[in-house]
Amino acid sequence: AQSVTQLDSQVPVFEEAPVELRCNYSSSVSVYLFWYVQYPNQGLQLLLKYLSGSTLVKGINGFEAEFNKSQTSFHLRKPSVHISDTAEYFCAVSEVTSGSRLTFGEGTQLTVNP
In sequence order, what are the residues at sequence separation of 6 or more whose Cβ sits closer than 8 angstroms to the Cβ of residue 43? none
Does 113 bind another protein (CB under 8 A)? Our answer is no
Helix, coil or strand: residue 78: strand
Q: How many CB atoms lie within 10 A of CB 108?
A: 22
Beta carbon nearer to another protein, 36 or 81: 36
The one-letter amino acid code at 40 reads P
Does 44 bind another protein (CB under 8 A)? Our answer is yes
- For the bound state, the minimum distance from the C-beta of residue 5 to another protein, rounded and expressed in Å, comes to 10
Q: In this chain, which of 40, 53, 99, 114 binds another protein, going by CB under 8 A?
A: 99
Does 104 bind another protein (CB under 8 A)? Our answer is yes
